Copies of this chain bind each other. A is one copy, B any other.
Amino acid sequence: MEHTIEFRVRYEETDQMGVVYYANYLVWFEVARTEFFRARGVEYKKLEEEDNLYLPVIEAYCRYKSPLKYDDVVTIKTKFAGTDASRISFEYSVTKGAKLSAVGRTLHVFVNEKGKPVKVPAKVRKVFDEID
């Protein structure tokens, strides 16, 4: 099960090579995750605000295949890629039209306000159970 977002490359996201600077893909993955959750009825900000739960990244990977330019229309597909007691992972594909620009993966752990790992909260677990 996937969620798709589409947006345009900002001028700020380019570098002097004339293409998108590599770290920005990780920024986009985060935007894609927020929307993945929202599309399934979970507002990530409420997890922080109401439940004092946070979802830091503990692992990030990106493979860059084709550069992107300013003003390109970019599509990111986010796929749930597994969960255990306190961790969840996502996979991403970044495309421009039919062309694959990059693939990525992030691994996250749910923690409380003290940074201690906690169980995946029920309302999030529910989302992924429906996916499985």
Chain A contacts to B: CB under 8 angstroms: 8, 10-12, 14-19, 21-24, 26-27, 30-31, 34, 43-45, 48, 54, 56-65, 67, 69-71, 115
Contact = CB atoms under 8 A, between A and B. Distances in A.
A30 B59 contact: no
A115 B67 contact: yes
B60 A62 contact: yes
B17 A15 contact: no
B16 A18 contact: yes
A32 to B, nearest CB: 11
Q: Report how many copies the assembly holds.
A: 4
Nearest to A13: B15
24 contacts: A8-B31, A8-B34, A11-B15, A11-B34, A12-B15, A12-B30, A15-B15, A16-B16, A16-B18, A16-B19, A17-B56, A22-B30, A22-B57, A23-B23, A23-B24, A23-B30, A34-B71, A44-B71, A45-B69, A45-B71, A56-B67, A59-B62, A59-B64, A60-B64
A68 B124 CA distance: 26
Contact of A14 (B16, B26, B60): B16
